[in-house]
Amino acid sequence: MNPFTTDPAQSVAALGERRLIAHLRAWLGKATSPAPFGIGDDCAVLPASRSRHLLVTTDPVIYGRHFDDAISPAAAAEKLLKRNLSDIAAMGGVPRSAVVSLALPRRVSIAWIRGFYRALGRCAVRHGVTIAGGDIAESADMLGAFLTLLGEASGPRVLTRQGARAGDWLYVSGALGGSILGKHCRFTPRLAEGRWLASRREVRCLMDLSDGLAKDLLELTPAGLRPALTAAALPVSRAARTLASRDGRTALDHALSDGEDFELLFAIAGRTDRPAFERGWRTRFSTPLTCIGRFARTGESLGETLPLERYHGYEHLAGA
Ligand SMILES: [Mg+2]
pLDDT tens profile 77-106:
999 999 999 999 999 999 999 999 999 999
Domain residue spans in the chain?
Answer: 8-153, 169-302
Mean per-residue pLDDT, 301-315: 74
Mean per-residue pLDDT, 271-296: 97
In order of 67, 180, 218, 227, 268, the CA distances from 107 in angstroms are 17, 28, 42, 49, 51
Contacts of 70 (CB under 8 A, 6+ apart): none
Query: Please, which residues bridge with residue 58 across strands?
Result: 148
Q: In degrees, to the nearest 5, what angle opens at C-alpha 137 toward C-alphas 108 and 315? A: 85
> Quick check: 304 and 232 in contact, CB under 8 A?
no
Q: How far is the CA of 10 from the centre of ligand 1 (A)?
A: 37
Residues with CB under 5 A from ligand 1 (ion): 87, 90, 208
Confidence label for 304 from pLDDT (cuts 50, 70 and 90): confident
Q: Specify the DSSP class assigned to residue 308.
A: G
Tell me which amino acid residue 49 is. S
Q: How far is the CA of 64 from the centre of ligand 1 (A)?
A: 21
- φ/ψ region of 84 (left if φ > 0, alpha if ψ in -120 to 50, else beta) reads alpha
Length of the chain equals 320
In order of 159, 280, 293, the CA distances from 155 in angstroms are 10, 19, 28
Query: Please, which residues bridge with residue 298 across strands?
Result: none
Q: How far is the CA of 256 from the centre of ligand 1 (A)?
A: 16
Mean per-residue pLDDT, 221-229: 94
Residue 319: what pLDDT?
56
Tell me which amino acid residue 266 is. F
Residues 271 and 266: their CA atoms lie apart, in Å, by 15
pLDDT at 256 > cutoff 90: yes
Q: In degrees, to the nearest 5, what angle opens at C-alpha 228 toward C-alphas 225 and 232? A: 170
- φ/ψ region of 133 (left if φ > 0, alpha if ψ in -120 to 50, else beta) reads left
Mean per-residue pLDDT, 216-237: 94
Pairing of strands 93-104, 130-138: parallel
pLDDT one-digit tens code per residue, 140-189: 999 999 999 999 999 999 999 999 999 999 999 999 999 999 999 899 99
Q: How far is the CA of 25 from the centre of ligand 1 (A)?
A: 29
Q: How far is the CA of 308 from the centre of ligand 1 (A)?
A: 20
pLDDT at 318 > cutoff 70: no
What counts of helices (H) and strands (E) characterise the chain?
9, 9
Answer yes or no: CATH 3.30.1330.10 is held by domain 8-153: yes
Residue 311: what pLDDT?
76
The DSSP secondary structure of 163-208, one letter per residue, reads ---TT-EEEEES-BS-GGGTHHHH----HHHHHHHHT-TTEEEEEE
40: how many CB neighbours lie within 10 A of its CB? Answer: 15
pLDDT at 316 > cutoff 80: no
Contacts of 255 (CB under 8 A, 6+ apart): 175, 176, 177, 178, 213, 234, 235, 236, 237, 240
What's the CATH number for 169-302?
A: 3.90.650.10
pLDDT at 269 > cutoff 50: yes
> Quick check: 11 and 109 in contact, CB under 8 A?
yes
pLDDT at 320 > cutoff 50: no
Q: How far is the CA of 156 from the centre of ligand 1 (A)?
A: 21
Q: How far is the CA of 235 from the centre of ligand 1 (A)?
A: 20
pTM for this structure? 0.93
Residues 268 and 271: their CA atoms lie apart, in Å, by 9
**To the nearest whole number, what is the mean pLDDT of the chain?**
93
